[in-house]
Amino acid sequence: MRITFMGTPEFAVPTLSALVAAGHDVVAVYTQPPRPAGRGKALAPSPVQRRAEEMGLPVRYPVSLKGTEAQEEFRAFGPDIAVVAAYGLILPRAVLDAPRLGCVNVHASLLPRWRGGAPIHRAILAGDSKTGVTIMGMEAGLDTGPMLATVETEVARKTAGALTGELADLGADLLVTVLGDPDSYPPIAQPNEGVTYAAKIDKAEARIDFMASATQTERQVRAFAPTPGAFFEVAGDRVRILSAEPLITGAARPGLVIDEALTIACNPGAIRPTLVQRAGRGAMKPADMLRGFVIPVGTQL
């Protein structure tokens, strides 16, 4: 099958690799343009661009697909189908209609729950017990198209990073299965009940508010690990909590450091960080950080 692939982050890489491994003819790869990255702010290609170039595939990274020239170039590749996985650009009607068999999306949620740009983070923050991947046909609405297939997994105590990697692999395998036998996966309209929206993550959401419960704070830690990292500030320094345990404790003022293990009171309960990181330093255990950066018991965060 002739396929135009459209994706940008690491989540999309397994799908691209799986399509090539399955013998499909990936005629073009579309991704977001290189962005400034690192301390030097040098332009860095997306993970999908890097992988596509490793495999010798033609890559395009237009800023927009709204222009006639970009749409004509897309159409000229003559794809049977376009596969989209976390691409990051809105596809105009002319692009949606260009492939002979339309466009399909690898979406990291069990639709109709968590339509939108940050389904993995939102599932963790909401305390969902399970999530998954939906292979769906694309239309003009935001993740409103018909469903072709789904696969589920438990959220458990997984971080966003771990869950993203797992869903990326599950989605890649499921997509290849669907494309290999499309007649076995007829489109099914999404139900009207249970629709929720996964708004994009604002970095300000990563600041920990210890007025929340220990359960919710621990979810926040997992939802923002490894990036941008849930954090608090002390003595002018930002400390990211990369993993933590929720605890049941006696009443204490929220935000109070209540022991030498850096256990911090919440409302109710407390969290005990198990992996932390200061700005410009590597991740470490709290005990290692506290040897050189003391946060005394009784500190109010």
Q: Is the pLDDT of residue 280 over 90?
A: no
Q: What is the mean pLDDT of residues 23-30?
A: 98
Specify the pLDDT at position 199.
95
Other beta carbons within 10 angstroms of residue 72's beta carbon come to 11
Specify the pLDDT at position 39.
74
CA 216 to chain centre: 19
Specify the pLDDT at position 204.
93
Specify the pLDDT at position 42.
86
Measured distance CA(73)–CA(71) in Å, rounded: 5
Average pLDDT, the chain: 96
Nearest to 179 by CA among 138, 153, 148, 139: 148
Measured distance CA(257)–CA(255) in Å, rounded: 7
Specify the pLDDT at position 222.
98
Q: Which residues pair with 200 in a beta bridge?
A: none
Specify the pLDDT at position 249.
86
Q: Which residues contact 296 (CB under 8 A, 6 or more apart)?
A: 257
Alpha helix locations (H) across 202-258?
Answer: 214-223
With cut-offs at 50, 70 and 90, classify the pLDDT of residue 37. confident
Specify the pLDDT at position 167.
98
With cut-offs at 50, 70 and 90, classify the pLDDT of residue 250. confident
Specify the pLDDT at position 235.
87
Measured distance CA(231)–CA(277) in Å, rounded: 9
Measured distance CA(244)–CA(20) in Å, rounded: 39
Measured distance CA(159)–CA(162) in Å, rounded: 5
Specify the pLDDT at position 184.
96
Specify the pLDDT at position 77.
97
Percentage of the chain lying above the pLDDT 70 cut: 100
With cut-offs at 50, 70 and 90, classify the pLDDT of residue 36. confident
pTM of the model: 0.94
> What separation, in Å, do the N-terminal and C-terminal C-alpha atoms of the chain show?
57
Q: Is the pLDDT of residue 261 over 80?
A: yes
Q: Is the pLDDT of residue 44 over 80?
A: yes
What are the structure tokens assigned to 22, written together?
């399955």
Specify the pLDDT at position 38.
74
